[in-house]
Amino acid sequence: MSLLWLRVAVLLYGIASLAVLPAALYDRPRWRHIAVPATIAAILFHFVSFAEMLNAAHHMLPVDTHETQALLALLLALAFLLVYWRYKTVSLGVFILPVVVLLTLVPAFRPSHETLQLAHSNWIFLHIALLLAGYACLILSLLASLLYLIQERRLKSRSQATSRIKLPPLETIDQIALNTLLIGLPCMTAGLLIGSAVAAVTVGPAFFLDPKVLLSFAMWIAYVGMIHIRRISGLRGRRAVYLSTFVFFVVVTVWAANSLSAVHRFSSL
């Protein structure tokens, strides 16, 4: 049944992805009344599916790539709703909802047969959940920075073709980009500290020589540096996009390092 609920969630996410386009780009409130409820319903089905998936597998944390993707997608969808509730804009849904659809599509229609080698502690669940929350905030900040760049160019062009497109003010978009980073930093910091503490006991000093661990701490340094630069220099626009893209590239590199990791590798059952 978990796959059925997840497939229903994918369908609802797809409907929301289509409905958010006229709602965000052309300020059509009727389509917003479709996009937001569809996202809420999708999240409910998504959560039920994820809970049933973990319960059926008799574990409390994602132990394979697909389950991790499903959890990241759920966090991104929740982040979209939080942004809508706080700023009353669905513009980021143009970017976020298609990403959510892609992240849930494979787990819904192609179940995985992998397991995480280090999956015996409930603390690891908190470690994974906090890191994924930090990743979700970083992705949201990157998308907001891209939206800032689009809105900035639109305002400068002042063409008739773009005047009909309704996007949030630049200040609102910048606040979303910065605030999501500020929320993501403690999540990522706590996730790394919890993972390090558990690994120090269960794996030993060799854990801190693992490629993914070293890249993870490099990612944290880049994350902190990005926040510092944004707050001190007021970095916005294209440079903010470049900086966010660089940190996101580091995150992707960390994710890819699973294949080299002796601790975090997903292996077939």
Q: Please work out, in degrees rounded to the nearest 5, the angle formed at the alpha carbon of residue 83 by the alpha carbons of 164 and 160.
A: 10
Judged on CB neighbours under 10 Å (0-12, 13-18, 19+), 39 is: buried
Nearest-CA neighbor of 53 among 105, 6, 99?
Answer: 6
pLDDT digits (tens, 9 = 90+) for 94-112: 888 988 998 888 788 776 5
Across-strand partners of 266? 116
Identify the residue with better confidence: 82 or 253. Answer: 82
Going by pLDDT thresholds of 50, 70 and 90, the confidence category of residue 12 is very high
Q: What are phi and psi of 120, to 5 degrees?
A: -120, 5
In our burial notation (b when 16+ CB lie closer than 10 A, e otherwise), range 92-108 reads bbbbbbbbbbebbbebb
pTM above 0.95, yes or no: no
Is pLDDT at 60 greater than 80 in this prediction?
Answer: no
pLDDT in tens, 139-165: 888 888 888 888 777 777 765 444 556
Tokens of 117: 């080698």
Helix (H) or strand (E) holding 151: helix 122-157
131 alpha-carbon distance from chain centroid: 10
Answer for the pair 19, 35: CB distance below 8 angstroms, yes or no.
yes
Q: Averaging pLDDT over each range in 10-14, 70-74, 216-220, which range is the top one?
A: 10-14
Residues 173-191 pLDDT 10s: 888 888 888 888 888 888 8
| Mean pLDDT across 126-131 | 81
User: What is the b/e burial string over 12-29, where b = at least 16 CB atoms within 10 angstroms of the residue's CB?
Assistant: bbbbbbebbbbbbbeeee
Predicted local distance difference test score (pLDDT) of residue 53: 80
Inform me whether the pLDDT recorded for 36 exceeds 90.
yes
CA–CA separation, 75 and 56 (whole Å): 21
- Per-residue pLDDT of 184-225, as tens digits, reads 888 888 888 887 777 666 665 556 666 667 777 777 887 887
* AA letter at 143: L
